[in-house]
Amino acid sequence: MGEEYVVTPAIEKLKQLLVEFPEKAARVSAYSWQYKRDAYSWSAKEILGHLVDSALANLQRFVRAQFQSAPQIRYDQNNWVLSQFWQDRPVEDILELWIVVNKQLAHVWGQLPRASYTKEVNVGSTEVVLMQLSELIEDYIQHMESHLEQINMPKVTVIAAKGKANELGKGNDLIWHLPEDLKRFKRVTSGHSIIMGRKTFESIGKPLPNRTSVIITTDNSYKKEGCIVVHSMEEALAAVHKESEVFIIGGAQVYRQALTMEAVTQLDITEVHEEFEADVFFPEIDAEVWEEVSREDYSADEKNKYNYSFVSYLRKK
């Protein structure tokens, strides 16, 4: 292991994380930052706090490592969460600290004398544990990446098909048969989690293949084999936070809530150019909030009885 293999890519990686992560962090909902399974588990905020502590300790370690042979850092994993106060701090402050300290780390690594990359230092606090500085750098990046993954917030897209007057369904069922729309739904959502209200799940009747169904209900005793059952929109997002992309698939009640959530950044809408009788409707798409970014128009054919368009919107704010 040497400078070319570890140090230069690590500095690049750290700089890339400094650009990428704040963008991702902006997608994490206030609830998800705070969410703790229990008193002893870490919230996303505490994980970020832990990374600030770790960055500060490592900054000290690397500065000291240039001058001494035992730059120890001490860390008591079990007591840490109880003795820190990250949960009480505004997340913006913690994020800012994370950025500042890691920029300094990248700077220090970049300034390390070349000869010192292979220098062995004692990183144990009681026994002697020798590591090269390049190994320490690699270790730091791996540790940070694995924690940042825990904080990750997927891209959240609402997917729906609606009639001319925002019609969605009637009698807990769909009101048209549009095979092209079903195909697109399958293609787009396959391999991802799909979040839905209890009524939509019951209207579909079973978990859809190649997708993880996340069902929202107020009923604490509700269970469905092969599905994740949650009791709020926020809990639904927390349940899928490790994924890269998830879809909210309805119905009306769930769409209404989803459109107000900042974590939801895209709408993939099939407009069916026809009016239908319905008892549930999609909410108005507010042009102040949503910008149409693409539109594909299709004409009715033998299999698809109505003209329809696939339209995507992105959140402006």
Ligand X SMILES: NC(=O)c1ccc[n+]([C@@H]2O[C@H](COP(=O)([O-])OP(=O)(O)OC[C@H]3O[C@@H](n4cnc5c(N)ncnc54)[C@H](OP(=O)(O)O)[C@@H]3O)[C@@H](O)[C@H]2O)c1
Asked whether the CA dihedral 209, 210, 216, 220 is positive or negative, the reply is positive
As a whole number of angstroms, the distance between CA 119 and CA 206 comes to 59
Q: How far is the CB of 295 from ligand X (least distance, A)?
A: 17
Q: Please name the residues in contact with 183: beta carbons below 8 A apart, sequence gap of 6 or more.
A: none
Contact region with ligand X (CB under 6 A), list: 50-58, 122-130, 168-176, 306-314: 168-176
As a whole number of angstroms, the distance between CA 253 and CA 199 comes to 9
Stretch 197-236 residues interacting with ligand X (CB under 6 A): 197-200, 203, 216-219, 231-233
Q: Please name the residues in contact with 281: beta carbons below 8 A apart, sequence gap of 6 or more.
A: 162, 165, 166, 167, 168, 252
Q: How far is the CB of 168 from ligand X (least distance, A)?
A: 4
Q: How far is the CB of 2 from ligand X (least distance, A)?
A: 54
Stretch 250-309 residues interacting with ligand X (CB under 6 A): 250-254, 257, 280
Closer residue to ligand X in complex, CB, 49/197 = 197
As a whole number of angstroms, the distance between CA 252 and CA 196 comes to 10
Asked whether 108 and 66 are in contact (CB, 8 A), the reply is no
Contact region with ligand X (CB under 6 A), list: 4-12, 53-61, 81-89, 243-251: 243-251
Q: How far is the CB of 290 from ligand X (least distance, A)?
A: 17
* Three-state SS annotation for 58-104: HHHHHHHHCCCCCCCCCCCHHHHHHHCCHHHCCHHHHHHHHHHHHHH
Closer residue to ligand X in complex, CB, 80/298 = 298
* Contact status: 126 vs ligand X (CB under 6 A): no
| Residue of 7, 44, 65, 249 interacting with ligand X (CB under 6 A) | 249
Structure tokens at 152: 């990750």
Interface with ligand X: number of residues (CB under 6 A): 28
Q: How far is the CB of 213 from ligand X (least distance, A)?
A: 12
**Can you give the binding site for ligand X, defined by CB under 6 A?**
160-161, 168-169, 172-174, 196-200, 203, 216-219, 231-233, 249-254, 257, 280
